[in-house]
Structure 1
Amino acid sequence: MRRLRLTAVAVITTVAMAACGGTGESTSAAPSPTAKGLKVVAASTWEAGFAKAAGATDITVIVPPGVHHAPDYDPKPSDLVKVAQADVVLYAAFEGFAGKLKEAAGSKAKLIEVSLDNTPDKVRAEVARLGGEFGTAEAAKAWTATFDTEYAAMKEKVTGAAEGIAPVIVAQAFVAWAADLTGVQPAGVYGPQPPTAGQISELAAKKPRLVLDNSAMPGGDALANVEAKRVVIDNFPDQGLDLIAMYKANADAITAALG
């Protein structure tokens, strides 16, 4: 009888602790939320754009849109509170403040490092991966289908502006993906540091028609003496967090330069 009483007490205690989150492993991670209620905090609009494409709907962004160089942003205490209340935190390894986000997330939020690269194949893969993480795989698949249709239309428009002449392009390393909109690969790539005098000579020798520069890390000014049109490419979606709109804006800029 004594053993039965002790067993009953143990069972009651265990149930009570579980209800209060008091058992050992249950406090280390929150239960997986439904996709509809998933709270996502993204370091910048770039990660947020990937999250929205993957099907997330409740997204908070730490770095305000329009900040010139997001990796150097210094999060405010209020930003870190948002992180601590999240279910998922998205960040990129190159962001200097990523360590602060990890620390602020504590044991509740799931930390996911995002590979930020707007090369279409890599975007498709990353959106699919995040859809799997969020439980929104079907939404991610639907977005990808729309993206494929829209991207093909953009590419047709840009290549049409080139009037059948494949443009010679040089590009900053992190926006070289945009050359694909013209149907060519860059003839030369510079950066991420500003090009040296020797590199400028090499790039000029390519006789480029376009220089694709990075809005977040501009180095194209060093190529001012190169006879080519400079097109500023933006990797970050605006406050609408729409990746497709970001591609369209860049495609329009390239089209205008070719025209």
Structure 2
Amino acid sequence: MFDLSPDPRVFALPPGADFPAELIAGLEARLAGQPPEALARVHLIVNTRRMARRIRDLYDAGPPRLLPRISLLTDLGDSWALGALPSAAPPLRRRLQLAQLVARLIEAQPDLAARASTYDLADSLAELIDEMQGEGVSHEALLDLDVSDLSGHWARAQQFFTIIEDFLADPDTLDAQARQRRVVERLIADWERVPPEGPVILAGSTGSRGTTLMLMQAVARLPQGALVLPGFDFDLPGEVWDGLDRALTGE
């Protein structure tokens, strides 16, 4: 489907384009003149169930043909090859476990927070853990942050971070983001050993989450891998693109 190239393959569609329809049109153009089974060898990875459903609806509208394999980013861990990974803990169970830990900490140090804030603090910690595990940030990296100008507030916050250290040490507290990262890491390792023979196309994602970005980089490096970015402004001046890497002003 693609010519061999040492460079990553990155395609894009402009803002306002009918992404699923244009994606299918691009696939058909790439596969023009190839046998019908060529499309069935394509593995299409999309980021939302809505997009997967729309792509399938467009194919179902005809003409009859073999279809590509369509996967959701969040469903990659459902394959039999990755089934050995532990399941993610239910969110409610994680929330209640964290609430118990927060309650014990407040009971031991009543000046940290009011008991009425137990569940709010547990929810905040759950969100923090979710973000840390999804981005591959360790507990040690959190403690190494330089926030000397907020030393008083930071000292209080660190009391709650001790909960995270103990909580993450429990293998039964794996959340959905952490499991997704393990799935992607395992998938990348498998691809490095045995690259897929057919095309793998990741479409519709921008890499705003660390795990997704890691997968996108791996797909772009595959012998028959490619990315299709949404909403790409082809008319944006070069100097604007050059400024997007500045963390404080890039957004």
Normalized per residue, the structure richer in helix is 2
Larger radius of gyration: 1
Check whether TM > 0.5. Answer: no
Please state which band the TM-score falls in when normalised by the shorter chain. under 0.3
Normalized per residue, the structure richer in strand is 1
After TM superposition, the score normalised by the length of structure 1 is 0.24
After TM superposition, the score normalised by the length of structure 2 is 0.25
